[in-house]
Amino acid sequence: MEFEHITTFFIPKKLRKKQYFLQAGDVCRYTAFVNKGCLRSYTVDDGGKEYVMQFAPEDWWIADQGSMKANAPSKLHIDALEDSELLLLTKDSMATLLDESAAFKRYMMVLLENKSIANDERMSGMLSQSAEQRYAAFESKYASLVQRVPQHMIASFIGITPETLSRLRKQRAG
């Protein structure tokens, strides 16, 4: 019964491949649960170079929480890497669910803990691991994305050049 109540707060949304969920400069109004497909968040520097911050395949959440919380323009772009089906929550709906549902609140707490741990591991890896170790960690943690996400985006996510990633992949295959 609680599950049915929770689902009434979600707004279904479909995105086509390459369609934006959020563009830098806009205020993030929704947190998205990816039911099908894959999204990415990224920033772009003054020279036009993209830096991938997050991939969000099925069963992942994505948003610019800072923009949403402060009602401020986002510094992130979020777009669909594949045709995607999302379930959206507004900030108010999220707050209501957290107040009304102990199960949803526990679920979100675990999610935040896991995200914090993953961010710490990623930062530690970026500072202390070789390019080969970072790619191996990506393959291990995100095996389903290796064939779904363009290689230049994976390279950006792990902080190496596309050429270095290509060389690493050739070494591993050969």
Q: What is the pLDDT of residue 1?
A: 56
Residue 125 counted as domain residue: no
Question: What is the C-alpha end-to-end distance of the chain, expressed in Å?
Answer: 54
CA–CA dist 125, 112 (Å, integer): 20
Scan for tokens 């741990």, then name that residue: 117
Instruction: Judge whether residue 135 has pLDDT over 90.
Output: yes
Q: What is the CATH number of the domain that holds 82?
A: 2.60.120.10
Cβ(85)–Cβ(37) below 8 Å = yes
Residue 100, domain member (yes or no): no
By the 8 A CB rule, do 51 and 105 touch? Answer: no
Bridge-based pairing of strands 61-62 and 77-80 is: unpaired
Q: What tens digit of pLDDT does each residue of 100-124 get? A: 999 999 999 999 999 999 999 999 9
**Is 133 a domain residue?**
no
Within a domain: residue 162?
A: no
Q: Which residues of 51-85 are buried (b: 16+ CB within 10 A; e: fewer)?
A: ebbbbbbeeebbbbeebbeeeeebebbbbbbbebe
Is 48 domain-assigned?
Answer: yes
CA 137 – CA 132 distance, rounded (Å): 9
Of 1-5, 21-25, 77-81, least confident by mean pLDDT is 1-5
Residue 60 located in a structural domain? yes
pLDDT value, residue 63: 97
13 part of a folded domain: yes
Task: Name the domain count of the chain.
Answer: 1
> Model confidence over 154-174: pLDDT tens digits?
999 999 999 999 999 888 887
Does any domain span residue 146? no
Nearest CA to 63 out of 21, 93, 13, 8 is that of 21
Range of the domain at 6: 2-90
